[in-house]
Chain A
Amino acid sequence: MRFELTDEQRMIKSAAAELAQGFEEEYWIEKSRGNEYPREFYDELVKNGWIGIAIPEEYGGGGMGMLEMVLGMVEFGNQGADVGLMFVLTPVFGGLSVLKHGSEQQKEELLPKIANGDMRFCFGITEPDAGSNALKTTTTAGKRGDNYVINGKKTLISGIDLAQKMLVVTRTMPYDPKHKVAGITLFLVDVDSPGIDTSELDVGLSLLEKQYEVFFDDVEVPAENMLGEEHRGLIPLFDTLNPERMTGASNGVGFANFAINKAVEYAKMRQVFDVPIGSHQGIQFPLADSRAKIDAVELLLYKAAYLYDKGMPCGREANTAKYLASEFGFEAVDRAVQTMGGYGLTEEAGLMRVWKNIRLIKTAPVTNQLVLAYIGQHVLGMPKSY
């Protein structure tokens, strides 16, 4: 068992830290306050190869793995850069899905554009009555000549305004209780296709990526834009779940580190009743407790990514890392806010935007309840609980 990073991995961490430090904290606070996309930062991510990090070199990417992506993501988060959805949308739902399940033609056409920033992705899965239960998808894709025609409605779709392509989950066969897993088909759809209409959702928890309802009205998609096989779309869909969980966990670990460091710095400096507040156990121990927890989660996250890169099962590790990163991470950020007293609640203190984001990770990309259901059923071998 080797825990030390390679020279390459150390360089990845320092490169991520340096890029993140090129953007002052004020930049993120302003973007968050103005509900404005951090385009300048994203452009640097693209320019320096981060979006294509896990795409093989023959398709114009960095030729690295999930572990390198995760190491970079954690480091971005450590510095306070909000990269969660930036990595999950295009590199994972776009890049990894096409890489693992795309035809050679799709790979040659799409992967270089993903790597060079020309093509961004959003993910059309959630519906008003189908989110975690993808089998209940009601958006349909029916065959018409050489094309498929998509009809239906998706909701809580992040960042369609930034994307050129959408990975859309559809039904190509009616739901059959006897063959539950059959009939789901994935398509790579141009977001400017005729028949697609969007409407921005007003969400209380504003994120850098805006949320949309997306309507499909007779949207024609060429058959060659299908990802994977017809009726068997659950296979590519499930394949993205572990990397997706790892990106969520990376975001959580990074932001927890960021918050803990900020709180510790503050607690050492802030004097109340003539001593630094950090000298009190009531302040110090919660932060120490969070430090211990996040250290453990970070290790588990790297193990999950390592296993994924080796092609080994990693569902247990990826799910557990996502679960603990969001629960312990949320706790850590909340404690950091508490450490700073009233100041912690100001935008200026830099924790409110992090608090919002880490709260999200308890719910998305998958709820922590379903993560526990996975662990109960697939790790512990207990009966299905839902």
Chain B
Amino acid sequence: MVDIIVCVKRVPDTSEAEVIIKDDKRAIKDADLTFDINEWDNYAIEEAILKKEALGGKVTVIGVGGEEVNEVLRRCLAKGADEAIRLTDPAFDGSDGYAIAKILSAAIKDLQYDFVFTGAQAGDDSYGVTGQMLAEILGIPHATMVTKVDINNGTARIRRELEGGLEEVDEINKPAVFCIQTGLNEPRYVSIMGIRKVSKKEIPVKAAADIGISADEVGEVGSMVKLEEFSIPPAGELAEMIEGTPDEAAGKLAAILKEKGAF
């Protein structure tokens, strides 16, 4: 049996969309963007469900944000998570990764769990810090960039992805936080049967007071990082258009690549 908590985030899909920065420069215009579960979290939830299916136990999924987050949480329930909790409070607005870690830890500390899975990073702000900070605050070990998880009698044997194609294998006792890298499984699709099961399921909501965290610990005031502004990098400064016939252009390109040490 293994009880796993998975922290998920709702993010905009900006892979093919045109990103427009709002006038105050501190956010992007998201009205025309589609939102979905963070890609890394999608692998994390799949891994947790696979472990539950193999070993028994329970998967609880937690998200921070307004009602719109329910859609992401329901998706996880439809795939096979057992419970979902949404953490929401006006005081949470403007939280950085550290403040989010504090919010998550406040909710998680009272729950029964063996392991906590987070995505290795989020596709929107790409900080990649929440999981590690969460583990620190909970006072438990963690592993980042996790590409394989085997759990046996409360001990996890995990593989981590390092620089330069190197891999590391660790044994970590429960409880621990694993920051899951993409590609370690094949996330299942949401099925009609799953949708049927969860569409009317109420998702409990907890505010700052319910998890015992004060307003000055979260939001902008409780954050370490203050977002100043977004900007789109100036285009073209480093770009060089190679002119000429295909033969000439290929020759010039090869010369440049050689000069830069690509070969």
* B204 smallest CB distance to A (angstroms): 16
Interface size class of A (residues with CB under 8 A): 20 to 34
Instruction: State whether A52 touches B192 (Cβ < 8 A).
Output: yes
Which of A11, A44, A50, A52 contacts B78 (CB under 8 A)? A11
Give the complex CA separation of A11 and B189 in angstroms: 11
Mask for B180-192, Cβ within 8 A of A = 1, else 0? Answer: 0000000001111
Chain A residue numbers with a CB within 8 Å of B196 are 8, 57, 62-64
Instruction: Say if the beta carbon of A18 comes within 8 Å of chain B.
Output: yes
Interface size class of B (residues with CB under 8 A): 10 to 19
Known: A14-B36, A14-B75, A57-B196. 15 other contacts (CB 8 A): A7-B74, A8-B196, A8-B199, A8-B200, A10-B71, A11-B75, A12-B195, A15-B189, A15-B195, A48-B189, A49-B194, A52-B192, A62-B195, A62-B196, A64-B196
Chain B residue numbers with a CB within 8 Å of A62 are 192-193, 195-196
B residues whose Cβ falls under 8 Å from a Cβ of A: 36, 70-71, 74-75, 78, 189-196, 199-200
**Those 10 A-B pairs whose CB atoms lie nearest each other, nearest first:** A49-B192, A8-B199, A62-B192, A15-B190, A48-B191, A49-B191, A19-B189, A11-B195, A49-B193, A48-B189
Instruction: Say if the beta carbon of A199 comes within 8 Å of chain B.
Output: no
Which of B71, B74, B189, B192 contacts A18 (CB under 8 A)? B189
Instruction: State whether A48 touches B190 (Cβ < 8 A).
Output: yes
Which secondary structure dominates where chain B touches chain A?
Answer: helix
Which secondary structure dominates where chain A touches chain B?
Answer: helix
* B192 smallest CB distance to A (angstroms): 3
User: Known contacts A12-B195, A15-B195, A63-B196: does B71 contact A7 (CB below 8 Å)?
Assistant: yes
Chain A residue numbers with a CB within 8 Å of B71 are 7, 10-11, 14
* A52 smallest CB distance to B (angstroms): 7
Instruction: State whether B78 touches A47 (Cβ < 8 A).
Output: no
List 8 interface pairs A-B (beta carbons < 8 Å), by A numbering: A7-B70, A11-B75, A11-B195, A14-B190, A19-B189, A22-B189, A49-B194, A53-B192
* B53 smallest CB distance to A (angstroms): 15
Instruction: Say if the beta carbon of A6 comes within 8 Å of chain B.
Output: yes
Chain A residue numbers with a CB within 8 Å of B194 are 49
A residues 83-125 near B (Cβ < 8 Å) are none
Mask for A223-261, Cβ within 8 A of B = 1, else 0? Answer: 000000000000000000000000000000000000000
